[in-house]
Amino acid sequence: MATVFIEDLKVDTVIGLCEWEKHVKQTLHFDIDMQVDINGAADGDNIDATVDYAAVAQQVIDFTQAQSCLLIETLLESLLKHLLDSHERISEITITLRKPQAIPAAACAGITSSLSRQE
Give the residue extent of every domain in the chain.
Answer: 2-116
Q: What is the mean pLDDT of each run of 10 residues along the chain (119 residues)?
A: 96 88 91 94 85 96 94 96 96 97 90 90
Total residue length of the chain: 119
Residue 15 near residue 75, CB atoms below 8 Å: yes
Beta bridge pairs of residue 95: 32, 113
What pLDDT does 88 receive?
Answer: 93
Other residues' Cβ atoms within 10 Å of the Cβ of residue 34: 23
Looking at residue 10, the DSSP 8-state letter turns out to be E
What pLDDT does 102 receive?
Answer: 85
Three-state DSSP class for residue 30: strand
Select the CATH number that applies to the domain covering 2-116 from these four: 3.30.70.3170, 3.30.1130.10, 3.10.450.50, 3.50.50.100: 3.30.1130.10
99 is catalytic: yes
Q: Which of 10, 25, 81, 99 is catalytic?
A: 99
Burial class (CB in 10 A: 0-12, 13-18, 19+), 78: middle
What pLDDT does 119 receive?
Answer: 58
